[in-house]
Structure 1
Amino acid sequence: DPAFHLGTLLRPFRLPLALGLLLVALDAAAQIAVPVLVRHGVDHGVARQAGGVLLAAAACAGLVVAANWLIGIAQVRTTGRTGERLLYTLRVKTFAQLQRLGLDYYERELGGRIMTRMTTDVDALSNFLQTGLITAVVSLLTVLGVLVTLLVIDAGLAVVLLLALPILIGATALFRHHSVPAYREARERVSAVNACLQENVTAIRVTQAFRREERNARDFAQLAWGFRDSRLRAQRYMGTFFPFVEFLGTLSTAAVLAVGAGQVRSGELSAGTLIAFLLYVELFFSPIQQLSQVFDGYQQAVIGLGRLRSLMRTPAGTPTAEQPVETGKLRGEVEFDNVSFGYAGGAGRDVLHGLRLRIAPGETVALVGATGAGKSTVVKLLARFYDPTAGAVRVDGHDLRDIDLPAFRRRLGLVPQEPYLFSGTVRDAIAYGRPDATDAEVEAAARAVGAHDMIAGLRLGYLQQVGERGRNLSAGQRQLLALARAELVDPDILLLDEATASLDLATERRVAAATDALCRRRTTVVVAHRLTTAARADRVVVLDAGAVVESGAHTELLAARGPYHRLWEAFRQTPQDHPAPTSELVEESAR
């Protein structure tokens, strides 16, 4: 949303916010009314020894205080409820935006920084809206009300107090000038701290394996020290400014008392008016001190809101077409028409250069080539995680940029090299793409890829809990569940990204059989790490430096003795435990 700002967030809550502001105004009015009643009681009750007047003034003051108490209860409940609803809306909007953003955003942003947006920044805004904002509005209205009341009671004596205002305004401006950069720096540094923490927790096995615990602890301590230094610098400014405001208030009280006492002696001012004036001076500076105290939360909220606004205004890397084409079920015809593409931050170097590739409906194509040849990039473009910088990717004759993206992805199946399994049961992991699937459909998908026997061997079967990222399962078990997950959505186009690259011999045989079962009846693109995977495909496409250098059936390419033949010979001569290829053609070629 390019127009996102605080106003758009607050618009649905106009009525409760208006009620909250009314209660805040009544709160400020009640505070201002008490000194007026004190003045009346002193001048017309104490000075004239009229007990009835004094009692009436005291009773009215008591009623005002009681009413203010009830107003405070209603105010806290109203603003608290509204604040929680507002923050719920903000969290949901932020999460939805994070779901929409393309891979380019996540590849340039650290995970810890993204988490800071959802936690620290949202919490800072929440705390200010629920507590600091109320205090700030009440304080501001009280200060304005006190100024008006003082001018009405005695303009001459009010001038004594107003002399402190230029000093206060100048001190506040100086404080903001120095403290705002410190707060902004602190927010950036806490993002770096969170990013470091998340990265090290995620990679704890690597950390311990390479004995990096002490080094990483020192690096983290250095980042935390930078955050601490920024916060201490901001606290030093606060520690100077707040006492100065208190000192200025005391000095103003003394000045008003000195001038007012002289006016009382000369008969120009009543004692009740002077007492009310002194109460108003306290009431004037007390809100200013409260405003100063909520300034810390205000600064954090402003910076947090700015970063959330930047996030919400970030456009998706794959924009939606103005009139998207509804495709429904796909035939599975794929065409890369003179496609070029380069990643942001890739030093301007294209990964793909004028790529031309056609895939027939139902055909299984294996992409092979050296690291960096562009194999995985082809898969990402076909899934429309990115758009090409030149050329077009077409499915069934339609440019992917013109197709309704959510509908298109519902017809895709994706099995990455390292399948990500979310926390939940085995059943939940398989049904991730179709949460409404029945138990029978989930089991049928598992049987179709040969995963049912493995699942049945688990202690709780389909109800076995899967840990975060599936860490309590083996690599082969995770791969089989990912294949079953893809089978359940019944995709028209299947994308396999090096699906057998990290498995042992026995597990790879089982996964290879599951993959073959999954590839039937649909267009399949396989990023082949082991050439035995490529050998089972209908066609092998060899990529080099982002372009197609050879294409054909496995046996044809071996007979041509070109780039694929050299890759095959190097693969055969490399010591490794790769399984015997399953097709007779592959067995014959490998002899």
Structure 2
Amino acid sequence: MRAILALYRPYRTLLLLGLVAGLCSSAFGLTIPWILKEAIDRLQEQPAGSTLLFLAGALLLFTLLQGGFRFLARRTIVGISRQIEYDLRNRLYRQWLDLDGGFYDRVPSGDLMARATQDMSALRSLLGAGPLHLSATVILGISAVALMARLNPWLTLYALTPFPVLLWALSMLRHRMETGLHRAQARYQELCGQVQEAVAGMRVIKTYTLGKAMVAAFSDKGEQYLAEEMRVVRLEGIYYPLTGLAGGIGVVLALGIGGQQVASGQMTLGELVAFNAYLAMLMWPTIAAAWILSLWQRGKVAFDRITETLAEEPAVREHPQPIRPSTIHGGIEAKNLTFRYGDGSGPSALSRLSFSIPDGAFVGFVGPSGGGKSTFLGLLTRLRKIPEGQLFLDGIDLTRLPVSVLRQSIGYVPQEAFLLSDTLRNNVALGLEDPEEASIHHALFLACLEDEVRALPNGLETVVGERGITLSGGQRQRVTIARAVARDPRILILDDALSSVDAETEKLILDRLRTHFAGRTILVSTHRLTSIERADLILVLDRGRLVEHGPHGELLNRGGLYSHLWDRYHRREELESVHGAQLTAGKGPELKIP
């Protein structure tokens, strides 16, 4: 409760204004039945007169004032809830950007989307409608009972007899409601994850004709969510009949007993009308109490889920005593580097790596899939937590370098080419402030993309679609390479970033990059071994360990894993060449690569 109330702290003045307006609206509303009582009693005594006109004018005025203050209260408090939602959503987005890769490994993206949408909406309803109706409920409830007691204490006691039973029943349902809402939210996040996976993999789904299977899986998730929501709806459905029953019994008692008292002269007709008007007013707080309880349960569950994300501590943090070098040269050294994914209890993705890369070197990373190449290259950008004293840049422990300084000095091209649904220009210039036109065109030149961009009708202003869907795989990779080199980094990392580019274009790109970045460090991970044949240093990784290192010729002469990979690569190239020639001649041999 205290944490939720703390959200109002920046807006406490506006909140106070809204609550005061709500108080005034309730006060004018409570006055109307009393005026009505006076009017009915005066009408029985004197059917005509200026007093009745005065009371009629007072009714009209108080009704208008009640509506005006209600509008002010609603606009103020609901407006505050929208502003808090805006603030929280920005905090949540910033938190997502601060969290490391390990967080996204264990938290499904559908869960994150549910927290940013449905949970945020439920919390907004609680923060807006909650105080607005809670204040009106408390004021109307207490005041209506007090005014009813003033009119007729014993009749008030009879009319309120069912309400203690109602409050007991609502308290019994509260815990079951909260448990059910937690389960429903969990099913909803699974449903969101199913939708996101289907949209992201739509081409695969269509290619493999998985439409029926995906619809069945989605229907299954939907049925689970529906079942949990229906349990909650059934519990909520008990609230309103209970409140209606309690209010109905109260009205019957008031009319029966009050009617007898009017007939016997113990009450006036105006007093009975006013009493029933206040009893009707009490019905709204009773119904609203159930609705507010439902709002509270949904909003509290949503708030807990949102704050759970906001409370996540980023694993990658700034060192309390950072070192800010004047220049990054690009020398890299690993000393017994060991890394495990997740909570650190699994197998080692990297195990006791030790090597040194001089600044300005062109270095190739090769090895079987799963050898640890991408893991090591990703650690250089500190996208994940790394142990202190095991990875160094220019002799400085990587954990002591400010993250912003480190990442601004690196141009990183990951395996998966990610593009925004934006223009080519904005994708290449991503993260740059006021980039020069010449630098963008030179980046395209280095990525061997300038001719293809020039051939497009809109050139650099061409919108590439979500994730670059309108481009080929090779084009997407080259756009991400252009994005990296446009930053003019001190260290360039290509993590299997040319796998969808033909060998000739790949060679041309690497030649251009090596010429442009002469004197700066270039790290290339690839399975196309001819790409790094002329590298200054080749590091061979297998199962997270460094098994060989050295230049190409030296590694071939050793006859180790690199030599085996080289022979296998060339046999595959030869077989593919023969296969292509035979296809041209109308034959189709089966490829068998040892």
TM-score > 0.5 by shorter chain: yes
Q: Quick one: structure 1 residues 510 and 120, their matched pair in 2 at CA, closer, same or farther if it must change by over 3 Å?
A: farther
1:79 partner SS: helix
The answer (yes or no) to whether the contact 2:507–2:531 under 8 Å persists in 1 is no
Alpha-carbon distance in structure 1 between the residues aligned to 2:337 and 2:417: 28
For 2:547, the equivalent position in structure 1 comes to 549
2:88 maps to 1:104: no
Counterpart among 490, 511, 514 of residue 513 in structure 1: 511
Q: Distance in 2 between matches of 1:70 and 1:425?
A: 49
Cross-structure match for 1:95: 93
Structure 2 CA distance for aligned equivalents of residues 33 and 4 of structure 1: 34
CA–CA distance in 1 between the matches of 2:347 and 2:216?
36
Give CA deviations for 1:486-539 in whole Å, capped at 9, x if unaligned.
111111122111122233334433443344345433122222222223323210
Distance in 2 (CA, whole Å) between partners of 1:324 and 1:21 is 49
SS at match of 1:433: coil
Deviation at 1:152, TM superposition (A): 4.2
| Distance verdict in 2 for CA 1:452–1:4, change over 3 Å | farther
Query: How many Å separate the matches in 1 of 2:449 and 2:206?
Result: 33
Q: Which residue of 2 aligns with 1:583?
A: none
2:370 and 2:14 map into 1 onto residues whose CA distance is 57
1:97-496 matches, cutoff 5 A: 97-131=95-129, 133-265=131-263, 267-293=265-291, 295-344=293-342, 348-389=346-387, 391-496=389-494
1:235-280 Cα offsets, whole Å, 9 max, x none, are: 2222232122111101011222333344445554444333222111
CA deviation after TM superposition for structure 1 residue 406, in Å: 1.7
* CA distance in structure 1 between the aligned counterparts of 2:44 and 2:405, rounded to whole angstroms: 82
Alignment map for 1:560-579 (pairs within 5 Å): 560-575=558-573
Q: Give 2:492's aligned amino acid.
A: L
- Please tell me the residue identity of whatever aligns with 1:454: E
Q: How many residues get paired?
A: 577
Deviation for aligned residue 1:66: 0.8
Query: What residue identity is the alignment partner of 2:327?
Result: K
Cα distance in 2 between the residues matched to 1:577 and 1:81: 69
1:29 corresponds in structure 2 to 27
Match of 2:17, SS?
Answer: helix
**Alpha-carbon deviation of 1:312?**
0.9
Structure 2 residues not aligned, in runs of 5+: 578-594
| Greater alpha carbon shift after TM alignment, 321-330 vs 275-284 | 321-330
**Partner amino acid, structure 1, of 2:411:** G
- Pick the aligned partner of 1:19 from 17, 21, 25: 17
Deviation at 1:408, TM superposition (A): 1.7
One of 82, 85, 105 as aligned partner of 1:84: 82
Structure 1 residues 321 and 145, CA gap change in structure 2 (3 angstroms): farther
Listed one character per residue, the Cα deviations across residues 296-341 of structure 1 (whole Å, up to 9, x for unaligned) are 4443332222211111111112122234333343111222222211
How far 1:218 sits from its partner (Å)?
0.6
Distance 2:322 2:141 in 1: 56
> In the alignment, is the contact (CA less than 8 A) between 1:42 and 1:54 conserved in 2?
no
**Would you say the 8 A contact 1:112–1:194 is kept in 2?**
yes
Aligned residue in 2 for 1:531: 529
Cα deviation 1:386-420 (Å, max 9, x = unaligned): 12257532222222222211222111101112211
Contact 1:433 1:485 in 2 (8 A): no
Task: Tell me the secondary structure at the aligned position of residue 183 of structure 1.
Answer: helix
**Shift in Å, 1:447:** 2.6
Going from structure 1 to structure 2, the CA distance change for 1:159 and 1:200 (only over 3 Å counts) comes to same
Aligned residue type for 2:231 = R
* 1:584 matched residue in structure 2: none
Is contact 1:458–1:464 with CA below 8 Å preserved after alignment?
Answer: yes
Name the amino acid aligned to 2:486.
L
SS of equivalent to 1:543: strand
**Most deviating of 195-204 and 341-350:** 341-350
Which secondary structure state, in structure 2, belongs to the residue aligned with residue 494 of structure 1? strand
Q: Structure 1: which 4+ aligned runs deviate by more than 6 Å?
A: 576-579
Deviation at 1:79, TM superposition (A): 2.8
1:76-109 Cα deviation digits (max 9, x unpaired):
3323433332222222221111111111111112
Counterpart of 1:582 in structure 2 is none
CA contact (8 A) 2:389 2:397 kept: no
Cα distance change on mapping 1:514 and 1:105 into 2, 3 Å: farther
Q: Is the 8 A contact 1:333 1:523 kept in 2?
A: yes
Q: 1:4 to 1:374 in 2, by over 3 A?
A: farther
State the 1:167 CA deviation: 0.6
User: Which shows bigger deviation, 471-480 or 504-513?
Assistant: 504-513
Give the aligned partner of residue 585 of structure 1.
none
TM-score by length of 1: 0.91
Aligned residue number for residue 588 of structure 1: none
**Shift of residue 48 of structure 1?**
6.2
C-alpha distance in 2 between matches for 1:309 and 1:421: 30
Residues of 1 paired with 2:65 and 2:301: CA distance?
37
Q: What is the DSSP-based 3-state SS (H/G/I as helix, E as strand, rest coil) of the residue aligned with 1:174?
A: helix
Q: Identity rate of aligned residues, in percent? A: 29
Q: Is the 8 A contact 2:178 2:301 kept in 1?
A: no
The structure-2 alpha-carbon separation of the partners of 1:576 and 1:419, relative to structure 1 and needing over 3 Å to count, comes to farther
Partner of 1:522: 520
Unaligned runs of 5+ residues in structure 1 are: 580-591
Distance change in 2, residues 1:8/1:378 (3 Å): farther
Question: What is the Cα deviation at residue 429 of structure 1?
Answer: 1.2
Distance 1:36 1:187, change over 3 A: same
SS at match of 1:424: coil
Separation in structure 1 between the aligned mates of residue 461 and residue 527 of structure 2, nearest angstrom: 33
Distance 1:6 1:562 in 2: 63
Q: Which amino acid aligns with 2:437?
A: D
Deviates more, 1:565-574 or 1:3-12: 3-12
User: For residues 167 and 277 of structure 2, what CA distance do their matches in structure 1 show?
Assistant: 22
1:525 counterpart SS class: strand
In structure 2, the CA distance between the partners of 1:577 and 1:109, relative to structure 1 (3 Å rule), is farther
1:383 deviation in Å? 0.6
Deviations 1:448-470 (A, max 9, x none): 44332232122222122211111
Q: Distance in 1 between matches of 2:319 and 2:512?
A: 37
* Per-residue deviation, 1:217: 0.7
Q: 1:141 to 1:323 in 2, by over 3 A?
A: farther
